Every structure is written in C-alpha cells, then in structure tokens.
Amino acid sequence: MKTIEQYFIKNGFPTKSSSIKDDYEQIAKNSDVLILTIYNNKDDIMAQIHTIAITKKNGKYFVHNNSANPPSVGYTSFTNALNSINSGKAKDLFLIGINKK
C-alpha cells in the first residue's frame, strides 16, 4: 500500500495516508482524490482485498472500481461512502489522499 503512495510522491503529488479510521475524514476533506484499500468482506478474509478510487465533486464523494457502488451515486461524506462499499461489508485497511501538483 505504501508503494502506491510512493509512486505519487515520486511524481510530485502531495499525499497524506493512514490506516487509522479516525484519520480518514480529515484526509478526505483535504485531498483531491483518494485511494482506499479494503478487504471485500470483513467477515471473510478469503474474499480478498481491493483497491478503490474515490473522487470528489461539488462536495460529494464518488466511488469508482467497485461494482456494488455505481460511480453516479454521490455520498455527502467520506464516511458515508466508506460505509456503503460492498453493502457495508468492506473492511478498510489503508487510505491515501492525493492532491494535484
């Protein structure tokens, strides 16, 4: 997960990251785009991990690369977006907030 963040840093994009859920809302608020790594199902570790992009537009969060959450649905907070992923079954692992150069 840190490797993804290192790629953006190496290419001049400022980042903030955390594996602590209490940090997520602040990172999301201060970032242009987010990359979230999750377990697909918190009750079944064998359901694998997944990396999801979350963009922001007009104060709403849009989840991409997750068939259970169409990118046309905008959530009013990062927490609402996170809680909706895979019908609430996802378990967050790591969040990277990325800003434009």
Q: Give percent of the chain above pLDDT 70.
A: 93
Tokens of 14: 């400022």
Question: 27-83 pLDDT, tens per residue?
Answer: 999 999 999 999 999 999 899 999 999 999 999 999 998 766 666 789 999 999 999
Looking at the structure of the chain, the number of domains it has is 1
Residue 23: domain span = 2-98
Asked whether the whole model's pTM tops 0.75, one would answer yes
Q: Cα separations (Å) of 78 from 10, 74, 81, 89?
A: 26, 10, 5, 16
CA 68 – CA 15 distance, rounded (Å):
27
| Distance between CA atoms of residues 91 and 22, nearest Å | 14
- DSSP annotation of 61 reads E
Structure tokens at 63: 């989840």
